[in-house]
Structure 1
Amino acid sequence: MKRKPSLVLLVGIMILTLVGCSNNPKKTNETGQTQITVDSIKKQEAEKRTFIDSAGREVLVPNQIKKIAPSGPLAQIVLYTSSPNLLVGLASPFSTEAKEYIDKKYQDLPEFGQFYGKNASLNMEALSAAEPDVIIDIGEAKKTVKEDMDKLQDQIDIPTIFIEANLKNMPETYKKLGELLGNTKETEKLAEYCQNVLTQADNVRSSLKESEQKSIYYASGNAGLNTNAEGSFHAQVIDEIGAKNAATGVDSVSKGGGTVISMEQLVQWQPDYILAESKDVYEQIKTDESWQELTAVKEGHVYQVPTVPYNFMGSPPSVNRIIGIQWLGQLVYPDHYKLSSEEAIKEFYTLFYHIEPTAAQMKEILTNAG
């Protein structure tokens, strides 16, 4: 004859069952599917905070951000300088020349493409697979920036942040980025460096008499007759050091390729200095007969812009222009800037690119650069 379980035993089993259920953050519905409880949702929400980006958008982000993805090349440079260990991918690959200055572990990151620009080709699947905590867009504030960021965030279901960046507000850019990433110690160093460079440039610019201002022509394109004219976003380094952009009276094109001019116009402008975008352009200017009519060529005031790992004048126009200010300022106004270009480059590369250039690298960086 089987004995029935006692009442005390049954009550004990019921209590244990109830305790077990109350400790489980999930519950199962009638079909056997797991449902997240209210407590679990509240816990997830408690692990997030609201961040107000440069477009005024309130975005819910994790309290601790461990993985980030850039939306394009400008964002990639800034994020690499401030938080390379958090990058889960690249907007664009590093150039062959740049790779010598970039740690290999970052070169091997997956590529997502970019959200903006003529080369816009964002790979949503690759970006989602990398599972970044946030996607960060850094650059000029376009008129549609709010709508663009909201659209991308809705499409990919990952918090998407916009942080404004231009040459004049780079210190604020790094401070805002530090606020987002919780990395204020490192970003404050970068912000302070940028502020010191910009303050010096402001002081020099305000102290120059009009008669002291030099004119500069930036030669780009295959023939050196493309230029970033006065008013161009890509020519701000010239303005910042207190020089005049020789390319005046022509439409400024916002793109890096710039405005096409004629040799006749250039001869009329007679710039004091000519900056060559590349070695090929530099050699053409120095050897082609048509360029010899220019006073700058006759006087040897032709220089090749340093381009590794990024162009000092701004291709792309990001924080690389900060070292451009120091290099060009010292080249054109040595009595005002009073600095060593080599020392400035070493300091900048160590702080921003996380590498101290060797003697051979310094020689490469400053080839034909004065």
Structure 2
Amino acid sequence: MKKKSRWLLVLSIAVLMLIGCSTKNTNEAEKTESIVSTEKVESKETHVFVDSADREVVIPAKIKKIAPSGPLAQIVLYTNSPDLLVGLASPFSTEAKEFIDKKYQSLPEFGQFYGKNASLNMEALSAAEPDVIIDIGEVKKTVKEDMDNLQDQINIPTIFIEANLKSMPETYQKLGELLGNKKEAATLSKYCETVLKQAAQARSSLKESEQKTVYYASGNAGLNTNAAGSFHAQVLDEVGAKNAAVDVDIVSKGGGTVISMEQLIQWQPDYIIADSKDVYELINSDASWQELTAVKSGKVYQVPTAPYNFMGSPPSVNRMIGIEWLGQLIYPEHYQINIEEQIKEFYALFYHVEPTSEQVKTILTNAQ
């Protein structure tokens, strides 16, 4: 019995030693696999970027090719990093082409990546092989879901960066961090910060009795407008003007809210700004508009639109020069700037072009 017990003891020890060796080998294998995995990630030179939706996205350490998700993103990316663009969300308009280098005009069109106007061209996107897709705009409730779904669909890292009128300085700072051009982005950020500070000072110094009411006329008949509180009417708020379109439904689209002439006559705005030459001419020639004090007193102006509308359309960084234009137009004593010189500076910094004096005069046709 003693001999049998000794054999059982020896056998148990042997089994335990085998289990120990097996466990050790497994741990060593896992450790080796972990090291290999880490080396694999490092060899690809990737890192994690936290976007404005608090999403952790793995992206290349050095981004060489980018694609915009839509028109708003396209403008901001063009101002910040034009040479990284490998495609466009929408073609440049005929009016814009005068101020856009031809090499960018020939870029392939991907269309808009998601949303109601989605028109993504996957074939063109695949051929361009962007390192990242960048979406820029206001934060929506579904932004995380939208970005994740888009990233899963196209299998390309997708980044969201918040941008509204007041956050443009931070938008450029975030882009500089993402794309590695912090110095250039800081210059654009500083310009936006200066404009916003100037507007804030002007607003704070205005007495309520000094505030001007402004009606923004758009649409074929001039009776579409961006109502008070609309994302597309932020320039009016920023300069300290009162939006004439109050107590009407806010439509969160560029086309805005449709109103009646009766409402407009009741509002009697101090100024009317028209979003096109056609609307400007209609307002000054159509008899129904002559009942408005602004028309009688010659306070009707055409919004500059080259290369992009100063009030928005799309509501991107183009609105910065819109603040300066509208501010000096209705509050010249608070915005003591030379708008022609300011346009030249803005276009050089943001659109990478130096407009001539004649081009500036054309931009400001019916706008002064």
Give the alignment's TM-score, normalised by structure 1.
0.88
**Which of 231, 234, 237 is the equivalent residue of 2:235?**
237
What is the correspondence of 1:337-356 to structure 2 with a 5 Å cutoff? 337-356=335-354
Deviation at 1:157, TM superposition (A): 1.4
For 2:109 and 2:134, locate their aligned partners in 1 and report how far apart those are by CA, in whole Å: 15
RMSD across aligned positions (CA): 1.4
The change in CA–CA distance for 1:53 and 1:71 in structure 2 (over 3 A counts) is same
Deviation at 1:194, TM superposition (A): 0.1
**Contact 2:327/2:335, CA 8 A, preserved across alignment:** yes
What is the correspondence of 1:114-125 to structure 2 with a 5 Å cutoff? 114-125=112-123
Aligned to 2:14: none
Deviation at 1:108, TM superposition (A): 0.1
Deviation at 1:315, TM superposition (A): 0.5
Aligned to 1:300: 298
Aligned to 1:330: 328
1:254-290 deviation line (CA, Å, top 9, x unaligned): 1010111111110110000000010000001011111
Aligned to 2:219: 221
**Which of 81, 102, 105 is the equivalent residue of 1:104?**
102
Equivalences, count: 334
The change in CA–CA distance for 1:125 and 1:41 in structure 2 (over 3 A counts) is farther
For 2:297 and 2:290, locate their aligned partners in 1 and report how far apart those are by CA, in whole Å: 10
Aligned to 1:211: 209
Secondary structure (helix, strand or coil) at the match of 1:336 reads coil
Which range moves more in the overlay, 192-201 or 121-130?
Answer: 121-130
The reply on whether 1:156 has 2:163 as its aligned counterpart is no
For 2:90 and 2:126, locate their aligned partners in 1 and report how far apart those are by CA, in whole Å: 17
1:212-267 deviation line (CA, Å, top 9, x unaligned): 00000000000101111111111100000001000111111110101111111101
For 2:141 and 2:264, locate their aligned partners in 1 and report how far apart those are by CA, in whole Å: 35
Deviation at 1:43, TM superposition (A): 5.6
For 1:129 and 1:149, locate their aligned partners in 2 and report how far apart those are by CA, in whole Å: 21
Deviation at 1:127, TM superposition (A): 1.1
For 1:288 and 1:143, locate their aligned partners in 2 and report how far apart those are by CA, in whole Å: 43
Secondary structure (helix, strand or coil) at the match of 1:163 reads strand
What is the correspondence of 1:254-269 to structure 2 with a 5 Å cutoff? 254-269=252-267
Residue type of the alignment partner of 1:245: N
**Which of 135, 145, 169 is the equivalent residue of 2:167?**
169
For 2:353 and 2:150, locate their aligned partners in 1 and report how far apart those are by CA, in whole Å: 34
For 1:205 and 1:39, locate their aligned partners in 2 and report how far apart those are by CA, in whole Å: 57
What is the correspondence of 1:1-370 to structure 2 with a 5 Å cutoff? 38=36, 42=40, 45=43, 47-370=45-368
Aligned to 2:10: none
For 2:272 and 2:157, locate their aligned partners in 1 and report how far apart those are by CA, in whole Å: 45
For 2:182 and 2:118, locate their aligned partners in 1 and report how far apart those are by CA, in whole Å: 31
Secondary structure (helix, strand or coil) at the match of 1:356 reads coil
Deviation at 1:308, TM superposition (A): 0.5
Gap regions ≥5 residues in structure 1: 1-36
> After the TM superposition, which segments of 4 or more aligned residues of structure 1 sit over 3 Å from their partners?
37-41, 43-46
For 2:300 and 2:207, locate their aligned partners in 1 and report how far apart those are by CA, in whole Å: 23
Residue identity (%): 78
Deviation at 1:125, TM superposition (A): 2.4
1:101-141 deviation line (CA, Å, top 9, x unaligned): 10000000000000234321111222122111110000011
For 2:337 and 2:115, locate their aligned partners in 1 and report how far apart those are by CA, in whole Å: 36
Gap regions ≥5 residues in structure 2: 1-34
For 2:172 and 2:126, locate their aligned partners in 1 and report how far apart those are by CA, in whole Å: 26
For 1:173 and 1:145, locate their aligned partners in 2 and report how far apart those are by CA, in whole Å: 16
For 2:364 and 2:189, locate their aligned partners in 1 and report how far apart those are by CA, in whole Å: 25
**Contact 2:344/2:355, CA 8 A, preserved across alignment:** yes
Residue type of the alignment partner of 1:256: G
Deviation at 1:41, TM superposition (A): 6.0
